[in-house]
Amino acid sequence: MSDQDGNGRLSPLRERELIEKAQEGCARSAHELIGSYQDRLHAFVWRMVRNDHDAEEICQDAFLRAFQALDNFDFAYRFSTWLFTIGYRLCLNAMRRRKDYSGDVDFSALRSDGRVDETLGVFDEVANSDEAKRLKKVIWDSVDELTPPQKATVLLFYKESLSCQEIGEILEMPAATVKSHLHRARNRLKELLERQLVEDWSVVRLGVA
Amino acid sequence: MLMTCRHVAQVRDVYLDGELSPSLTAEVHAHLLQCPECQEQFEMFRACGEVIAKDPPEPRLDSGFASRVVASLPKANSTFGTGLQTRRSLRQRFWRLAIGTSVPAAAAVLFFAVLIWPSGGPYGQVLPAVYEKPADAVQGVVTPTLNAFEETQDAVKSLGKLRGILAADVQKNVGDARHYVDEGEGAENDGPEVTLLDVLLQPFRDVLQPIEEQDTESPDEEKIIRF
């Protein structure tokens, strides 16, 4: 059986094998586990906190906590679920420290921190039109306007392709609440994006593909 | 009747979650074909989903990240040079060490106590009468232990007898190929000469037989069955 699926992710069997070895103190297995999840976790965390330094620190902390408590890992769950749960909690803590987020307060009225511009050079190597680039930026800006639970839900749903049930396990809430966050997020995105007077959204889709 | 814009808005999220039934999905598609406003809205959501899923604006961690995390993990002992020792394995080592040292130590203390206490040895003679009861208590522990020991000896004897019977049985089987063994000496004398190995290797007799026959030509080996 292959160690990875089509998306380059670890197969459950391989994941279990690595966790068991890491539990016995195998540094090589721990290294492989980290390597398999670091990009996914970092993308999620970075999108949540929008700060390079914080994102790396949170990722490191999340992995350390996960490995230090590896003895208590329940094989009924995926390692990714556990890791993202720790990562999400650390994100909320970091945001609280920065006063970005307090409980259920909707800070959608706040503007994003203006860091979006520095991301523009990272992608779009394909022949995208200026309009497509503009619309991508508009979409990400709008995502940043969402509340942390809404943003986490949207990221996990679209980026990680998780079900509402799986997202609920990570965010520690019922699947129905996840759906509610997802629906509110869509309404908010619709509200924000309709102001952009875009003639053809398919331009973005073609650019992404 | 085709769905109205209001109906489509009601099922929008279920549709986007991928949980709408095939028949209703078909109705939504039919509505979208003839409603540019709804079509634009759905196209916008699709664009959002695709950008979030496939557009990678996030910076990536550098290649040394995993090594730094592993280096930060607690290292009580190293299995692979830079290995980490989990708390569980530390606990296991502690208990293994504790049990491994304490049990023999306790057994040794008990052994010496039994040895010197009730027999009126050098310490027994000077001990006052008040210690007689504890001595009885120790006796109470020792006697069943000795009894158990005797029972074990009996069991060993029984096992020896059983081995003798088995050996005799083997002897009888082997005897078909070694007439000279049984003819010269009685089975009782030959019994102890048959080792446990004989019993275990009995199934391989047929294979080993030619070699044995060659061996038994030596007069010294005549009365002994060996491999």
Q: Report the alpha-carbon distance of residue B13 to residue B18 in Å, rounded.
A: 8
What residue has token string 């069955």? Answer: B225
Residues of A within 8 A of B10 (CB-CB) are none
List the single residue in A with minimal CA-CA distance to B15: A183
Give the domain A1-102 fold: Rna Polymerase Sigma Factor; Chain: A (1.10.1740)
Query: Long-range contact list for A108-117, CB < 8 A, 24+ apart?
Result: A108/A145, A108/A146, A108/A147, A108/A188, A110/A145, A112/A50, A112/A141, A112/A144, A112/A145, A113/A50, A113/A51, A115/A50, A115/A51, A116/A140, A116/A141, A116/A144
B45 lies in a domain?
Answer: yes
Q: Rounded to the nearest 10 degrees, what angle do helices A12-23 and A27-49 cross at?
A: 110
The encoded tokens of residue A162 equal 């998780």
* Residues B51, A140: C-beta atoms closer than 8 Å: yes
* Residues A27, B87: C-beta atoms closer than 8 Å: no
Instruction: Specify the pLDDT at position B162.
Output: 61
Instruction: Specify the pLDDT at position B54.
Output: 85
B67 touches chain A (CB under 8 A): yes
List the single residue in B with minimal CA-CA distance to A123: B57
Output the DSSP codes for chain B.
-PPPHHHHHHHHHHHHTT-S-HHHHHHHHHHHHH-HHHHHHHHHHHHHHHHHHH---SPPPPTTHHHHHHHHS--SS-SSSS----HHHHHHHHHHHHHHHHHHHHHHHHHHHHHHTTTT-HHHHHS-GGGHHHHHHHHHHHHHHHHHHHHHHHHHHHHHHHHHHHHHHHHHHHHTT-HHHHHHS-HHHHGGGS-HHHHHTGGGHHHHHHHHHHHTTSGGGTT----
Domain span at residue B10 reads 5-54
Interface probe, candidates A162, A166, A186, A191, chain B, greatest B C-beta count within 10 A: A186
* Minimum-distance CB partner of A38 among B61, B81, B89: B61
B200 lies in a domain?
Answer: no
B47 lies in a domain?
Answer: yes
pLDDT, greater one: B113 or A90: A90
DSSP state, A72? G
Helix (H, G, I), strand (E, B) or coil at A51: coil
Q: Report the alpha-carbon distance of residue A139 to residue A154 in Å, rounded.
A: 12
Where does chain A hold its CATH 1.10.1740.10 domain(s)?
1-102
Average pLDDT of span A135-164: 92
pLDDT, greater one: A113 or B189: B189
DSSP state, A9? P
Number of domains in chain B: 1
Instruction: Specify the pLDDT at position B166.
Output: 59
Minimal C-alpha gap between B54 and chain A (Å): 7
Minimal C-alpha gap between B27 and chain A (Å): 21
- What mean pLDDT value characterizes chain B? 66
* Residues B84, A67: C-beta atoms closer than 8 Å: yes
The number of CA neighbours under 13 Å toward the Cβ of B122 is 0
B18 lies in a domain?
Answer: yes
What share of chain A has pLDDT > 90, as a percent?
50
List the single residue in A with minimal CA-CA distance to B61: A39
Average pLDDT of span B167-179: 49
Q: How many CB pairs under 8 A join A and B?
A: 151
Minimal C-alpha gap between B101 and chain A (Å): 24
Q: Is the pLDDT of residue A87 over 60?
A: yes
In this predicted model, what pLDDT tens digit does every residue of B54-98 receive, in sequence order?
Answer: 887 678 888 889 999 998 887 644 444 344 444 555 555 556 666
Closest C-alpha to A176, from B14, B25, B52, B6: B14
B60 lies in a domain?
Answer: no
Where does chain A hold its CATH 1.10.10.10 domain(s)?
107-209
Which of A68-72, A101-105, A149-153 has the least mean pLDDT?
A101-105
Q: Is the pLDDT of residue A12 over 70?
A: yes
Minimal C-alpha gap between A1 and chain B (Å): 25
Instruction: Specify the pLDDT at position A206.
Output: 55
Instruction: Specify the pLDDT at position B195.
Output: 61
Window B:110-169, CB contacts with A under 8 Å: none
Phi/psi at A10 (5° precision): -65, 140
Average pLDDT of span B88-114: 63
B208 lies in a domain?
Answer: no
Whether ipTM exceeds 0.95: no
Window B:25-64, CB contacts with A under 8 Å: 40-41, 43-61
- Are B28 and B45 contacting, i.e. CB atoms less than 8 angstroms apart? no
Minimal C-alpha gap between A135 and chain B (Å): 9
pLDDT, greater one: A110 or B48: B48
The encoded tokens of residue A114 equal 């203006």
In this predicted model, what pLDDT tens digit does every residue of B198-214 receive, in sequence order?
Answer: 656 665 555 555 444 44
* Residues A204, B80: C-beta atoms closer than 8 Å: no
Whole-number Cα distances in Å, B37 to A79, B6, B115: 43, 12, 100
pLDDT, greater one: B215 or A110: B215
* Minimum-distance CB partner of B57 among A30, A34, A140: A140
B38-61 as b/e: b if 16+ CB within 10 A: bebbbbbbebbbbbbeebebbeeb
Minimal C-alpha gap between B105 and chain A (Å): 30
**AA identity, residue B72:** S
Q: Is the pLDDT of residue A42 over 70?
A: yes
List the single residue in B with minimal CA-CA distance to A153: B52
Confidence band, pLDDT 50/70/90 cuts, at residue A115? very low
In this predicted model, what pLDDT tens digit does every residue of B142-159 receive, in sequence order?
Answer: 666 677 767 767 776 766
pLDDT, greater one: B194 or B216: B194
Spell out the CATH class of A107-209.
Answer: mainly alpha
Average pLDDT of span B149-172: 65
Interface probe, candidates A125, A134, A139, chain B, greatest B C-beta count within 10 A: A139
Confidence band, pLDDT 50/70/90 cuts, at residue A92? very high
Which of A183-197, B90-104, B166-180 has the least mean pLDDT?
B166-180
Minimal C-alpha gap between B100 and chain A (Å): 21
Instruction: Specify the pLDDT at position A116.
Output: 32
Q: Is the pLDDT of residue B124 over 60?
A: no
Q: Report the alpha-carbon distance of residue B218 to residue B62 in Å, rounded.
A: 79
Instruction: Specify the pLDDT at position A184.
Output: 95
Instruction: Specify the pLDDT at position A125.
Output: 35
List the single residue in A with minimal CA-CA distance to B69: A60
List the single residue in A with minimal CA-CA distance to B72: A64
pLDDT, greater one: A26 or B141: A26
